[in-house]
Chains A and B, each alone.
Chain A
Amino acid sequence: MTARRRPLAALVLLAAAGLTAGCAGQGGSPGAPSAAQSAAASSSASPAASETLTVFAAASLTGTFTALADRFEAAHPGVRVTLNFAGSADLVTQITEGAPADVFAAADTRSMDRLAAAGLVAGKPVVFATNTLEIAVPPGNPAGIATFADLARPGVAVVACAPQVPCGAAAAKIEAATGITLAPVSEENAVTDVLGKVSTGEADAGLVYITDVTAAGGAVRGIPFPESDRAVNRYPIAVVAGSAQAKLGASFARFVTDPGGRKILSAAGFGTP
């Protein structure tokens, strides 16, 4: 019911605003503009509110981009940022299938390359953050994991991402660089699935991103390991080609990379490129 009435209310407001604007232009009654202003302010449906920026972002950016979007909206009155979070590969599929995205922020350069190959990236993507792997263990660390090599010990149930997804590709890179081969009991599609298996205690350890450990709070314990710098995931952001909000999109991308954006990202555990 409310959903039905809202567009109507917006229409009425818009009509009122247009009417009073016309009056003001003709030098009409001085009381009218202020009435329109107050109406607009109270409902936040000012004429500029029709500007909506749709941002497709990797699932690992959920917390940070929600905060960034709030700040961007505050800095740009009348702009609404709509966020869509999913796995980077899923998002690429959605955009190539015609989903309306203005900005795309991926968790790896490979996904951005795929979108670029489809001719859907405007300009050059900018890397705005980095992320590295960390070992996650259940609270109490039942298997006594301390190093990356510990993960290869027999009897340790390790869960990682499948090599087809970015977090798994990163793990494979570290394995190749260190010569330590893991035998995971499960290769998951998403980092959240790895995290779930660790936090429930099903697995003794999992390989996830630092930011996932931060976001999980006390559900898991993070164990950093020096070999993680062999596989640094780079997060690129770009405006989607053909976007009707290209200018606004570009300013959102800049907003993410400016010092204010950096602060939010590093608080979540992201590194600086």
Chain B
Amino acid sequence: MALPESSGRPQTRGSAPAGPVTLGVPRWILAIAALGAIFIVLPVVGMTARVDWAHFGSLVTSPSAVAALLLSLRTAAASTVLCLVLGVPMALMLARSRFPGQRLVRAVVLLPLVLPPVVGGIALLSTFGRRGLLGQAFEVLGVQIAFSTAAVVLAQTFVALPFLVLSVEATLRASGARYEAVAATLGATPSVVFWRVTLPLVLPGLVSGAVLAFARALGEFGATLTFAGSLEGVTRTLPLEIYLQRETDPDAAVALALVLVAVAVVVMVATHRPRAPS
């Protein structure tokens, strides 16, 4: 129906509208997209409507709430760093090299994306737990991971890593290997190529991947609950605090949920801007 007026007509003709331009997108797509956006936004609005604004300040500044928020920010930041350190080399290997079983490796690396977090928690427990695969070795070294903040970081890194790998890998593939090849022919060592060419090239993907990983780590719940436990200031992150408050104080739970949403939105909006502002 809407085809004649919107299919591929160049928008540059005549005086260009000052507002946002939607290039050749059929109107029915716009309608469905709006529906999708409403589907996501409406529940958040519904939750906001539940907030007890009169007590909002005291609810979100209670000692347990502040402890949970700080712990969440600290652990999510640590997991993001860990994701960057581990994820960039993984993305490079997947995008720039060929090795047998690569497709299988790729599928396995992305497994945490599709695993229910509880399953991730059980897997981590059977590996890093006291009676797990590596637990005994850690015990000998005097390191106990279970019930520690380190366990929270491990759980968050486990679920967030694929986001970073996917994002960086996609950017690497899109940017191609031409510049790297040129740098290599000019005599740059592989390490110099990595630091001076590849890394700056994939910076946008790196940033958006890191933001996604941070957001995913911030929202981590199931694996943390299963693997790390729940203790104020040590392992009880904001999502776990919300879950606990829901038992006795639904108002506090809703208020904290709003804080979590706000933090996530602020982080996404502040950093998820790979294109230069025009």
Q: A: which residues have CB within 8 A of B?
A: 87, 89-90, 93, 157, 159, 162, 164-165, 184-189, 193, 196-197, 200-203
Contacts and interface: CB of A to CB of B under 8 A. Distances in A.
Contact of A185 (B229, B247, B248): B229
Contacts of A201: 129-131
A186 B230 contact: yes
Contacts of B248: 89, 164
A136 to B, nearest CB: 15
Nearest to B148: A185
Contacts of B188: none
Interface in B221-265: 225-226, 228-232, 235-236, 240, 243-250
Given A201-B130, A202-B129, A188 B229 contact: yes
Contacts of A203: 147
Contacts of B229: 159, 185-188, 197
Contacts of B244: 162, 164-165, 189
A189 B226 CA distance: 11
Interface string B146-188: 1100000000000000000000000000000000000000000
A239 to B, nearest CB: 24
A71 B248 CA distance: 34
B247 A164 contact: yes
B246 A89 contact: yes
A212 to B, nearest CB: 18
Contact of A189 (B130, B131, B230): B230
B144 to A, nearest CB: 9
A193 B250 CA distance: 21
Interface in B199-237: 225-226, 228-232, 235-236
A87 B247 CA distance: 9
B77 interface: no
B247 A187 contact: no
Contacts of B250: 93
B contact residues, range:
20 to 34
B129 A200 contact: yes
Given A164-B249, A185-B231, 16 more contacts: A90-B247, A162-B230, A162-B247, A165-B244, A185-B147, A185-B229, A186-B147, A187-B229, A187-B231, A188-B229, A189-B244, A196-B226, A201-B129, A202-B130, A202-B131, A203-B147
Contact of B147 (A162, A193, A202): A202
A196 B225 CA distance: 11
A187 B226 CA distance: 12
A184 B249 CA distance: 23
Contacts of A187: 229-232, 236
28 contacts: A90-B247, A93-B246, A157-B146, A157-B147, A162-B244, A164-B244, A184-B231, A185-B147, A186-B147, A186-B228, A186-B230, A186-B231, A187-B230, A187-B236, A188-B229, A189-B230, A189-B240, A189-B244, A193-B230, A196-B226, A197-B229, A200-B125, A201-B130, A201-B131, A202-B125, A202-B130, A202-B131, A202-B147
**Which of A93, A187, A202: most chain B CB closer than 10 A?**
A202
A220 to B, nearest CB: 14
Nearest to A204: B130
B132 to A, nearest CB: 9
Nearest to B147: A185
A202 B129 CA distance: 6
Nearest to B144: A157
A202 B146 contact: yes
A200 B131 contact: yes
Nearest to B236: A187
Contacts of A93: 246, 250
Nearest to B231: A186
Q: Which 8 A-B pairs have the closest CB atoms?
A: A186-B229, A185-B147, A201-B131, A89-B247, A164-B248, A164-B247, A202-B146, A186-B231
Contacts of A189: 225, 230, 240, 243-244, 247
B57 to A, nearest CB: 21
A184 B146 CA distance: 13
Nearest to B121: A196
A111 B248 CA distance: 9
A164 B147 contact: no
A155 B147 CA distance: 13
Contact of B245 (A159, A164, A188): A164
B246 to A, nearest CB: 7
A188 B240 CA distance: 10
A184 B240 CA distance: 16
A159 B130 CA distance: 14
A90 B240 CA distance: 15
A93 B250 CA distance: 9
Contacts of B131: 200-202
